[in-house]
Amino acid sequence: MKPRVGLISFLNCLPLAYGLRQNQASGSIRIVTGTPAELNRRLTAGGLDISPISSVEYARHHKDLLLLPGLTISSPDEVFSILLISKVEIGALGKGRQVALPDTSATSHALLQIILHEYGLKPRYYTCRPHLEAMLEEADAALLIGDDALKARFQVPPGAFVYDLGQEWFRLTSAKMVYAVWAVRRSYYQRNPDLVRAVMNLLHKGLETGLSEKKSAIEYFGVPVPLTRDFVMGYLKKLDYGFDWSHHRGLKEFFTRAHALGLIKKVPALRFIAHKVQTRTRVTAEKGSEGMQTGS
């Protein structure tokens, strides 16, 4: 049975999707697409074997998961695809205000709460479908992620305030923001270690192909209205898909702040499968390194 591998159905995974297709990876793996929230549920419930998972969900399920070295979805600063769109300035989103959260995400929910907490703000949050107009009919502000956020940049209501949460995180911490990590179910890895390593190599090779051929990837898949090819190219340049010590620092900072707010039970160690990746996104997991260990 082919390994079931999740793939986020947003433009942030366009290079990988293209690279896997070009490298004919479908002959070796079964690709299952979905929103971050959908993939989170499937991986933790056993419906997927390997998948990107929201960073905050890795923290909540870390005992059952192992990380794949060299792979994240991150940004060093502004990200374009995680936006808070508000009818009032951010400093006015205090008690009595409502913020609508999309049901497609997990890490961005925690990220927004961390950022607003730093402003001393505690609005009321609720979750709904990610439709900007409907969200702002009821709420004072709306959080959007992925392609919905990218499209919203072209459709901001007059007078609305727009905040890029990647940029807000960097202003707050001077650290990278890691939105998602790649993980395998620990039980699956223990039964199929060589197969998991083979899948990881497919992912790395696919990502390298896609990143080196971004223009071809955009032309192959096209872009949704009202986005343009140039805009998507600029967006992809904002993203960081590696996993080194700068990502580790950003994750630790995020987990520490999420734990302080009670959003996760503990700050987890980062436990990786035992493998070294010979690519430009390589990270070596050394057993015994602080918080960053090889799992088995």
Q: Are residues 66 and 200 in the same domain?
A: yes
Q: Are residues 290 and 182 in the same domain?
A: yes
Q: Are residues 17 and 36 in the same domain?
A: yes
Q: Name the band, by pLDDT with cuts 50, 70 and 90, for residue 276.
A: low
Q: Are residues 70 and 188 in the same domain?
A: yes
d(CA 75, CA 237): 9
Q: Are residues 70 and 93 in the same domain?
A: no
Bridge partners of 74, per DSSP, are 178, 240
Q: Are residues 21 and 112 in the same domain?
A: no
Residues 6+ apart with CB under 8 A from 87: 136, 140, 141, 157, 159, 160, 161
Q: Are residues 145 and 210 in the same domain?
A: no
Q: How far is CA 212 from the centre of its chain?
A: 21
Whether the bond between 226 and the residue before it is cis, its omega within 30 degrees of 0, is yes
Q: Are residues 167 and 187 in the same domain?
A: no
Q: Are residues 91 and 189 in the same domain?
A: no
Q: Name the band, by pLDDT with cuts 50, 70 and 90, for residue 274.
A: confident
pLDDT at 293: 52
d(CA 262, CA 227): 37
Read off the CATH number of the domain in which 128 is found: 3.40.190.10
Count: domains in the chain: 2
Last residue within a domain, chosen from 120, 147, 173: 173
Kindly report the pTM of this predicted structure. Answer: 0.92
Q: Name the band, by pLDDT with cuts 50, 70 and 90, for residue 45.
A: very high
Q: Are residues 49 and 27 in the same domain?
A: yes
Picking from 23, 34, 74, the residue whose alpha carbon sits closest to that of residue 217 is: 23
AA identity, residue 119: Y
User: Can you give the residue range of the structural domain that contains 155?
Assistant: 82-173
Last residue within a domain, chosen from 153, 173, 193: 173
pLDDT at 104: 95
Last residue within a domain, chosen from 173, 196, 216: 173
Q: Are residues 249 and 116 in the same domain?
A: no
Q: Name the band, by pLDDT with cuts 50, 70 and 90, for residue 1.
A: confident
Q: Are residues 269 and 199 in the same domain?
A: yes
